[in-house]
Chains A and B, each alone.
Chain A
């Protein structure tokens, strides 16, 4: 157990040092959320006047949606790091050491979590600067829950990378999943204004669990959704550790 922890930490340090040496990576991932927040937010400013929105500004409403969508994208791209390791032969070197496969997945998830935290802090900062504000507990929930969701998605992205071993496949999968998953939730639009079928689908959408928890002030609901996301993350991490077997059969 101690060895597994140490392996995870060492691999995390490697990933974070690489991130530190290429800070533009985070900068690039912030371009899209800024467009959503500032342009999309301005364009649809007046939707809050539709009956069904409970007052406030659209920017205030939209911010959690943008935070969660950005977390999805950042986590989705996480598997690219693994493909890079495979192409450079580093993955094969790791796999012939006694490294625990879970440590490789764990390090990827922590790396994704750090990227998501940085993104979220910047997005919340910009939202504040643009004139909206959130209570301290809401900010905490907005920092923690997207990380749990991101951990799950990062693990799946890793699994996908191990199975397909191709950047193209991963790019396709991320594009195919992230936007639909974001729109099939109350991220952009008040829950009671969603079309009936989207409303139904959204109940089973982890993106929606995250967004509704961030907008809620009901701690039992927040706790329940956090628990669901945590469970999802553990299941996805387990799937990712199994994916190493598929990779090793193919090399």
Chain B
């Protein structure tokens, strides 16, 4: 078994005619963290639902931990741990009760359940809170218990579906530290879905960018960024543009791919620091006021923009509106 996960041409359409997945193909190497990055509604969660046997694809096939998700769902379930997007924990039960039930559902011997539960409670700093009802836990504690549930039976493949959504920055940083240790210590292969660029950048060794049910780019975060060649220029205009600014910037030497998003003008340049004065001079010549201008190394947001034609934030907001 070379790959922990192999997905091939996954298609899923929901009853109302919403095509959630439109041919998703990727594979995850064993022992690595693979990130699925995309805005809300891109199809990440649907992919996870299919790979974790919660639902079946209309087309395509997937093999997880060496077993076909449609033909051998029970084998797949025994090999995977899932930390879902919604809290899958019972708030009206205590931490330890949640863990014990989970262990019993997997058929782990009682003594092993108790030992493993204590080990994980210690590890996630929940040992003192284990006899409290989960609804008294903070968001960060609930998330940690969620991860502990997913790890309890020592799965080969762990799914983390938006693991830090809704957490405050401190709890998020805390979770990132925990997750960085996962692949190393537990030796599990991890599929992480996220709509935080920073999270994907920091945690994933391999990455696939999902947009509207398709994978638009894949590779290591660094490789994806270096494909872009050069720096990102971002210029904030003082007023909405009537097209003159875009036209003006397009004439600048060494400046590529200019695009406009409201009052934000973006472009790429081999050497950003040199391009900025030229761009500013061109804009001034046109009498277009500039509020701010920045040069940055390419980010995953730029990668996303390049492949989908819209920025990540815009895509996220768009999906939320729908």
- The interface of chain A, by Cβ under 8 A from chain B, is 3, 6-7, 9-11, 13-14, 17-18, 21-22, 88-90, 92-99, 248-251
- CB contacts under 8 Å to A, within B92-136, are 92-93, 97, 100-102, 104-107, 133
18 A-B residue pairings within 8 Å (CB atoms):
A7-B104, A9-B104, A10-B100, A10-B104, A13-B101, A14-B97, A88-B86, A92-B88, A93-B84, A93-B149, A94-B105, A96-B53, A96-B54, A98-B74, A98-B105, A98-B106, A249-B56, A250-B14
- CB contacts under 8 Å to A, within B195-242, are none
Main secondary structure of the interface of A (DSSP, over half): helix
**CB-based contact A21/B92 at 8 Å:** yes
Q: Once bound together, how far apart are the Cα atoms of A22 and B133, in whole Å?
A: 13
- The interface of chain B, by Cβ under 8 A from chain A, is 14-15, 49, 52-56, 74, 77-78, 80, 82, 84-93, 97, 100-102, 104-107, 133, 149
Question: Nearest residue in B to A85 (C-beta to C-beta)?
Answer: B90
In the complex, which residues of chain B have a beta carbon less than 8 angstroms from the beta carbon of A98? Answer: 74, 77-78, 105-107
Q: Once bound together, how far apart are the Cα atoms of A197 and B105, in whole Å?
A: 49
Q: Once bound together, how far apart are the Cα atoms of A90 and B84, in whole Å?
A: 9
**CB-based contact A88/B52 at 8 Å:** no
Q: Once bound together, how far apart are the Cα atoms of A21 and B97, in whole Å?
A: 14
Q: Once bound together, how far apart are the Cα atoms of A97 and B84, in whole Å?
A: 12
**CB-based contact A92/B86 at 8 Å:** yes
Given known pairs A97-B102, A249-B55, the reply for A90 and B88 (CB within 8 Å) is yes
In the complex, which residues of chain B have a beta carbon less than 8 angstroms from the beta carbon of A95? Answer: 53-54
Q: Which of A10, A14, A17, A89 is in CB contact (< 8 Å) with B86?
A: A89
Q: Once bound together, how far apart are the Cα atoms of A96 and B157, in whole Å?
A: 13
Question: Nearest residue in B to A245 (C-beta to C-beta)?
Answer: B56
**CB-based contact B93/A248 at 8 Å:** no
In the complex, which residues of chain A have a beta carbon less than 8 angstroms from the beta carbon of B14? Answer: 250
In the complex, which residues of chain A have a beta carbon less than 8 angstroms from the beta carbon of B105? Answer: 7, 10-11, 94, 97-99
Q: What are the 3 tightest A-B residue pairs by CB atom distance, in nearest-first order?
A: A89-B86, A93-B88, A10-B104
Q: Once bound together, how far apart are the Cα atoms of A52 and B125, in whole Å?
A: 71
Question: Nearest residue in A to B77 (C-beta to C-beta)?
Answer: A98
Question: Nearest residue in B to A2 (C-beta to C-beta)?
Answer: B107
| A143 smallest CB distance to B (angstroms) | 28
Q: Once bound together, how far apart are the Cα atoms of A6 and B93, in whole Å?
A: 19
Question: Nearest residue in B to A18 (C-beta to C-beta)?
Answer: B92
Known pairs A7-B104, A14-B93. 10 more at Cβ < 8 A?
A3-B107, A17-B97, A88-B87, A89-B85, A92-B84, A95-B53, A96-B52, A97-B105, A97-B106, A98-B105
Given known pairs A92-B86, A93-B82, A97-B77, the reply for A17 and B54 (CB within 8 Å) is no
Q: Once bound together, how far apart are the Cα atoms of A113 and B91, in whole Å?
A: 24
Q: Which of A14, A22, A89 is in CB contact (< 8 Å) with B87?
A: A89
**CB-based contact A251/B55 at 8 Å:** yes
Q: Once bound together, how far apart are the Cα atoms of A181 and B36, in whole Å?
A: 52
In the complex, which residues of chain B have a beta carbon less than 8 angstroms from the beta carbon of A94? Answer: 105
**CB-based contact A248/B54 at 8 Å:** yes
| A97 smallest CB distance to B (angstroms) | 4
| B193 smallest CB distance to A (angstroms) | 15
Question: Nearest residue in A to B52 (C-beta to C-beta)?
Answer: A96
Q: Once bound together, how far apart are the Cα atoms of A88 and B87, in whole Å?
A: 7
